[in-house]
Amino acid sequence: MKIRIALSAVLLLLTSMAEGQAVPTAVRSVGGSPIVPNLDGVVHYALTGSEVIQVGYYGSSQVTKSTALSGDVAYTATSTTRPFSMTFAGGVILPNQQGQDFSSFWNLTASQGYIARHWIFNLSDTFSFLPQSPTTGLSGIPGVGDLGSTPVPGPVEGPAGGILSAAGNRYTNSLTGSVERQISHATSISGTGSWSVLNFLDKNASGLDSTQISGMVAINQRLDSRSSASLDAVYSTFSYSGKVFINGFAQPDIETRGLNLSYQRLLSKSLSVSVSAGPQWVSSSNSTVIPSNLNVAVSGGVTYSRGLTNVSVGYSRGVSAGSGVLSGALSDSVYGSLGHTYGRKWVASLTTGYSHSSGLTQLAAGNSLPVNLTFDTVFGGAQVRRGFGPHYSGYVSYTVQNQSSNFPLGAQNIPLAAQSALNGTNHTIGIGVTFTPRSTRLGQF
Q: What are the tens digits of pLDDT across the range 239-298?
A: 988 656 566 667 789 999 999 999 999 999 999 999 999 999 999 988 888 889 999 999
- The answer to whether 403 and 163 have CB atoms below 8 angstroms apart is yes
pTM: 0.84
Residue 242: what pLDDT?
64
Buried b (16+ CB within 10 A) or exposed e, 380-389: bbbbbbebee
**C-alpha separations of 228 from 22, 60, 260, 317, 432 in Å:** 5, 50, 14, 22, 44
Residue 8: what pLDDT?
37
pLDDT in tens, 110-131: 999 999 989 999 999 999 999 9
Q: Residue 42 pLDDT > 60, yes or no? A: yes
The arithmetic mean of pLDDT across residues 347-372, rounded, is: 78
pLDDT in tens, 314-334: 999 999 998 888 888 999 999
**Beta-carbon count within 10 A of 403 CB:** 22
More confident residue, 318 or 206: 318
| C-alpha to C-alpha distance for 290 and 256, rounded to whole angstroms | 12
**C-alpha separations of 142 from 36, 78, 251, 284, 402 in Å:** 24, 32, 33, 36, 14
| C-alpha to C-alpha distance for 298 and 67, rounded to whole angstroms | 41
- The answer to whether 360 and 375 have CB atoms below 8 angstroms apart is no
Q: Residue 6 pLDDT > 90, yes or no? A: no
Residue 57: what pLDDT?
79
